Amino acid sequence: MEAAPRNLKILTGITIGLFVLALYMVFIYAPREAVMGDVQRVFYFHVASGWVGAVAFLVTAIAGGVYLAKRDRKWDRVAVASVEIGVVFTFINIASGSIWARPIWNTWWTWDPRLVTATIMLLLYVAYLMLRQGIDDPDRRARFGSVYGIVAFVSVPITFVSIRIFRTIHPVIIGSGDPAAEGAFDMTPRMLQAFMFSLLTFTFIYATLLWYRIRLGRLSEEVEERKMEMMSV
């Protein structure tokens, strides 16, 4: 069993440091939002985990494309590692959104486009994992995973647009905000700093987890290989 490489250890240290700092910024540095109160602080990690989910699924689609072109199993390990992380963070995104929505929108759940898209996205990638589970041949599993990873990623924006054409009540904080959206607010500079810092921190968390998960995938394949060798001797 090999030890974690030095760079991975350094990255892990940085990520932990960043996360502690991010906690400080979100809970102490950033001011309390005037109307919504402390529950608004959910927003920082809520958006950051949604961001990680989107990045993770983009990475899966790209890694799938590279796998199909190069047929190097390494890329499939990247793709599946990224999906697993993306599913977890998308779930955190939806759950934290729910916690925020309860006092602000007065409901745990609404049929808002972003909420529904995030949920459909979660289902898509759970389906991705189920597809992989149903295939025994590793090459075929990698091929089908790559194809479905691309198909799923292409469908997400179309799903979003289709639900968007329905009415929305989700607040738009970045870009052209609809002032009528319930729960919208203007960010003070400190809020913006805390928000940007959360995004950075979560991106680091994603990269660290991805690295560990890819390593785990490679190691478990090596274990398989050793087992095969033992059996064939």
Partner 1 sequence: MIEVRGLVKAFGVKPVLRGLDFQVAEGEFVAVVGPNGAGKTTLLRILTSMARPTMGEVRIAGLQLPRQSGAARKILGVVSHQPLLYGDLTADQNLRFFGRMYGVSNLDDRISEVLSIVRMSARRYDLVRDYSRGMQQRLAIGRGILHRPELLLFDEPHTGLDPDAADMLDDLLIRVADEGRTVVMTSHDLTRAGELASRVDILSGGKIARSIKRGELDRGELNQLYYEVTRG
Partner 2 sequence: MAEGVGAVSRVGPRGAVGGYLRAVGAIVWKDIAAELRSRELLGSMLVFALLVILIFNFALELDLRTRQTVTSGVLWVTFAFAGTLGLNRSMAIEKDRGCLDGLLLAPVDRSAIFFGKVLSNLLFMIIVETIILPLYSLLYNVNLFHPGLIAVILLGSIGYVVVGTLLSAMAVQARTRDILLPILLFPVVLPVLVAAVRATTGVLQGLPLEDYQAWLNLLIAYDVIFLGVAIVSFDYVVEE
224 binds partner 1 (CB under 8 A): yes
Choice between 178 and 225, CB closer to partner 1: 225
> Which amino acid, residue 69?
A
Q: x/- binding map, residues 78-117, to partner 1, per CB under 8 A?
A: ----------------------------------------
Which residues touch 187 (CB under 8 Å, ≥6 apart)? 173, 195
224 contact, one of partner 1, partner 2, none, CB 5-8 Å limit per kind? partner 1
> Contact, 118 vs 94, CB < 8 A?
yes
Which residues touch 201 (CB under 8 Å, ≥6 apart)? 15, 18, 19, 21, 22, 48
143 binds partner 2 (CB under 8 A): yes
> Contact, 27 vs 191, CB < 8 A?
no
163 contact, one of partner 2, partner 1, none, CB 5-8 Å limit per kind? partner 2
Contacts 24+ apart (CB under 8 A), 221-230: 221/73, 221/77
Q: Applying CB under 8 A, which of residues 34, 158, 192, 216 lies at the interface with partner 2?
A: 158
Question: Cβ of residue 83: shortest distance to partner 1, in angstroms?
Answer: 19
Choice between 136 and 229, CB closer to partner 2: 136
